[in-house]
Amino acid sequence: MITSTAFAGKRYAVLGLARSGAAAVEALLASGAKVTAWDLQEDARGKFEGRVELADPLEKDLTGFDGVIVSPGVPLNTHPIKPHAEKFGVPVIGDIELFALARQDLPPHKVVGITGTNGKSTTTALVHYILEQAGIPSTMGGNIGLPILGQDPLPEGGAYVLELSSYQIDLTRSLDCEAAALLNITPDHLNRYDGFEGYAFSKGRLMAMQSSGQLAVFGGQDTATRAIVAAEQSRRPSGRAVEVDKQALADLQPGWPNLQGPHNLENVAVAIALVEEMGVTRSQWESALPNFTGLGHRMERVTNHEGVLFINDSKATNQASTAPALAAYPPEANGRARIHWIVGGLPKEDGLGECEQHLGNVAAAYTIGEAGPRFAELLEPHVAVHKSELLCEAVRCAVDHAQPGDVILLSPACASFDQFRDYEKRGEHFRQVVAALTGASSEIQQALAEGVDI
């Protein structure tokens, strides 16, 4: 784990003992800090019985505490912990801020920070992969992978690659990344902010925390991102706030089978700018990109069966995230649309949003879940619609209608919680159904034919 003398003899409260909170407690204890910890779940608290003071920081006098560490899932705009801590002048921070404070004791290294509404997981994984292929010690954390404090320190010359949500940035004060990227900003998580402007400001803080000489990389051309570009270019030396030229890479994209679509062209352009700042050469990233396998549930190629490509994009939980997937598969040369789009779930927003401009790529839509009827209503004037309730029904119907050269795309534009625990379970279920329909046992085939949701 990552420890630091910066915490020795200090006093912290940790609220929430899931993965990042538990890792923070372990790192603080190993660093010689005194810790008060609390979680509503008795099992989570039990792991620290006798090692920490188990008490709810909301019920404590926090005088003398050096910080309250909370999970990114704690809504600072409504949770009472923030005003309670402020009464005692105690900062409310997260595990990323602890990592930033611990950097002074790590072997010489660099940090890459990546944020944005959409694409940050793919870009983070891609940067980490390219660095590893180039022989640069690397690990990834933050909003992806294992908690960063629970990982072993990298050797000298290593690079920590952090995917950072707006929630994590809100809990961070001093993370000065050697290279940071903002991919794009579109409306999301607005229940946690004072409007879209507050959400955009949160994203921009990743760059604001950097020293002026560090590299800032920008992808999107949306208005909110452009405003941050202008602000950062005004405070940095020339060439240290970079807008990527993704079209310069367009001729290479056909060689990256798991990085198709205009959104991935942007992700790659940002990743290249970041890894080159870490010392990676063009020949190194060019040889790495064709072998990148991508992330599970994000434009994941499940199989190609009888000329039909099956894509699992279950991680697309809003319209802005689904739109690039629809854009990735244009019609055939004769104009025939190829996408059989499985859409629906628990809606985050009404309407089609950015998806509407790509409906010319859609041969048919297969609506599922709570949002299914509304999507059917919106889509019927534009494309053929097949109404389903369960995912297995939609996949089976899509298989019946797809032709060689077509794409069956699960990109729901909705959260999963109406039918699944999370988007990962939804994506795993899609894989299982596809496997059953393309080569599983006769028993599974029969169950699907009878509408059983396996």
pLDDT digits (tens, 9 = 90+) for 76-99: 999 999 999 999 999 999 999 999
Two tokens, residue 366: 């297969």
Taking the alpha carbons at both ends of the chain, their separation in whole angstroms is 40
Q: Mean pLDDT across the stretch 96-112?
A: 98
State the average pLDDT for the chain.
Answer: 94
Location of structure tokens 């949306």: 222
How far does CA 93 lie from the centroid of its chain?
Answer: 20
Strand order in the sheet with 308-312: 300-305, 308-312, 407-410, 339-344, 362-368, 384-387
Q: Are 366 and 392 contacting, i.e. CB atoms less than 8 angstroms apart? A: no
State the Cα–Cα distance between residues 131 and 110, nearest whole angstrom: 12
pLDDT category, 263, cuts 50, 70, 90?
confident
Tokens representing residue 156 in the block: 């000298």
Q: How far is CA 386 from the centre of its chain?
A: 30
Instruction: Give the Cα separation of 321 and 220 in Å (integer).
Output: 13
- Segment among 149-153, 294-298, 303-307 with least mean pLDDT: 294-298
* pLDDT > 70 in the chain, percent: 97
**Residue 390 near residue 368, CB atoms below 8 Å:** yes
**List of residues 6+ apart from 216 with CB closer than 8 A:** 179, 180, 181, 182, 207, 210, 232, 236, 240, 241, 242
- Interior angle at CA 20, CA 85 and CA 160, nearest 5: 110
pLDDT at 440 over 80: no
- Classify strands 339-344 and 362-368 as parallel, antiparallel or unpaired: parallel
The predicted-structure confidence for 28-41, as pLDDT tens digits, reads as follows 999 999 999 999 99
pLDDT score, position 288: 98
Residue 377 has pLDDT above 90, yes or no: yes
* Active-site residue list: 120, 143, 189
| Nearest by Cα to 120 from 286, 258, 248, 267 | 267
- Per-residue pLDDT tens digits for 381-427: 999 999 998 999 999 999 999 999 999 999 999 999 999 999 999 99
Q: Interhelix angle for 391-401 vs 423-437, to 10°?
A: 40
pTM of the model: 0.83
CA distance 70 to 24: 10
Strand partners, 342: 366, 410
Diameter over CA atoms, the chain = 72
Residue 442: its H or E element: helix 442-449
Q: Give the Å distances, CA to CA, from 188 to 191, 196, 293, 354.
A: 8, 8, 27, 13
Q: What amino acid is encoded at 296 in this protein?
A: G
Rounded to whole angstroms, the Cα distance separating 225 from 183 reads 8
Alpha carbons within 13 angstroms on the beta-carbon side of residue 379 total 28
Q: What is the pLDDT of residue 454?
A: 42
State the pairing for strand pair 109-115/158-163.
parallel
